[in-house]
Amino acid sequence: MPLISIITAAHARSATYLPETAKAIEAVKLPEGWDLEWVVQEDGADPKLRGFFASIPYAEYDAAGRQLGIALTRNLALTRASGVLLQALDQDDILLPEIFTTLIPHFTERGIHWAIGQADDLLPDGTRKPYPSPIPFGLKRPGEVNEFAEADGGNWPIHGAALMLRTATFRALGGWTGIPYDDELATFAALSQICEGYYDEAITWLYRHHPDQIHRTNGARQLSAAGRRIALQRAVAVQATGMTFSSEPAGAFVNERPVHVGEITKDTTLGA
């Protein structure tokens, strides 16, 4: 049975909206024959969310017990994902019920490697605000989205917080980019530079706005220009490698093969 892995980096101090996020996942519909797992990695030196996820049968929870930051935390979750497709999801955002029945078929019908639907902004009072897309919907050729972003001062028309991706492709590109801010943007820039994707006009998720978001802090604003510059630089670099991925439709989906490792065998003692 093909599997889609939802990947979430969680943090107890900012988990106010996590119950709503979990309730929304419970309500999502899947194409016939598909299953899902929710792979959660908690960041922070004092993890507190294990009990919350223990009652969710399809949740795969773990915590490193140290502060690593969102990019490294997401990548630790990625090591435990088994699905042929990944669904990125922040702990405060909302997936709408039709997201998987809308987006997964695009991977069967087309040789794409990423897909995303349109989002409404979810405001603090619970109301939804439409966000008009500055680019057309539909099939996106490699490099198309980045061309728009560069012409618009390094502002992307597609938000990477709810991307659906081919797991193998994403791993080949190194997962989430290990930078302190805009890690999902730098990843998306590299992916969309060399792979076709699909931008669906259906509203498939809600992007929550609230006062505690990291991007509202002075530190995040200071790092934003560097993060967006890295994203454009990475797009140029990955194209220069000549890396390509198949543009043929997937046909039968095959889940990721489990990889097991043992203890380190090299002797690292300091004795003579």
Residues 6+ apart with CB under 8 A from 95: 6, 21, 24, 25, 28, 87, 89, 162, 204, 205
The pLDDT > 70 percentage for the chain reads 95
pLDDT over threshold 70, residue 215: no
| pLDDT on residue 64 | 93
Domain extent listing, the chain: 3-240
- Multiple choice CATH, 3-240, 3.90.550.10, 3.40.50.300, 2.40.40.20, 3.50.50.60: 3.90.550.10
| pLDDT on residue 251 | 63
- Greater pLDDT, 19 or 213: 19
In terms of C-beta density within 10 A (0-12 exposed, 13-18 middle, 19 or more buried), how is residue 5 classed?
buried
| 0.85 surpassed by pTM | yes
Task: Output phi, psi for 45, to 5 deg.
Answer: -75, -15
pLDDT in tens, 162-211: 999 999 999 999 999 998 888 999 999 999 999 999 999 999 999 999 86
**Helical H runs in the chain?**
18-26, 50-54, 70-79, 99-109, 144-151, 167-172, 183-194, 218-240
Residues 6+ apart with CB under 8 A from 137: 118, 199, 200, 201
Rama region for 161: left / alpha / beta (φ>0; ψ in -120 to 50; rest): alpha
Whether 116 and 207 have beta carbons less than 8 Å apart is answered as: no
In terms of C-beta density within 10 A (0-12 exposed, 13-18 middle, 19 or more buried), how is residue 59 classed?
middle
Q: Integer distance in angstroms from the first to the last C-alpha of the chain?
A: 53
